[in-house]
Amino acid sequence: AAVARRVGRRCSAPDRAALVWLCYDAIVHFTLEGPFVCMSLFGTVAQYDNILAVLWKEYGNADARWLYSDPTIVSLEILTVVLCGFLALILIYAIVKDKYYRHFVQITLCVCELYGGWVTFCPDWVLGGPHLQT
């Protein structure tokens, strides 16, 4: 929030709120999902003992696809880390600098986030949730 206020001090209140969300979004993509991708590309989350692996193992207790490098999950996470993470940063810049392409990037990021969520969970719902342990 402090970063958004600092860099977006000349922005409207809705834009500052968007900046707060986008900063959070980029941080999550790069600091939480990025390490998940690295662990999954070089093994499985279940094989690691670092602090982020512990977090992902807890998540994996509810959905085992996250523990054992399910190719669909890893592929989508690569997409979200790389594409959505960088789009969030580009959008932060576009909002702060009032760039003409801001709304195009904003719509693109929103569609990518919705697509990622849908493709992550819908196939499992269609199958009756065999991977979900809730």
Whole-model pTM? 0.89
Residue 134 in any domain: the answer is: no
pLDDT digits (tens, 9 = 90+) for 31-55: 999 999 999 999 999 999 999 999 9
Residue 107 in any domain: the answer is: yes
The owner of tokens 């392409």 is 101
How many separate domains does the chain show? Answer: 1
Q: Residue 65 belongs to what domain range?
A: 2-126
pLDDT digits (tens, 9 = 90+) for 91-109: 999 999 999 999 999 999 9
Mean pLDDT of the 73-83 span: 96
User: Who has greater pLDDT, 2 or 17?
Assistant: 17
Nearest in space to 131 (alpha carbons), one of 55, 86, 48, 72: 72
Question: Helices (H) and strands (E) in the chain — how many of each?
Answer: 7, 0
Q: Is residue 129 scored above 90 in pLDDT?
A: no
Q: How high is the pLDDT of residue 4?
A: 61
Residue 132 in any domain: the answer is: no
Mean pLDDT of the 108-117 span: 96
User: Lowest-pLDDT range, 6-20, 34-48, 79-93, 116-130?
Assistant: 6-20
Longest dimension (CA), the chain: 49
Q: Is residue 1 scored above 60 in pLDDT?
A: no
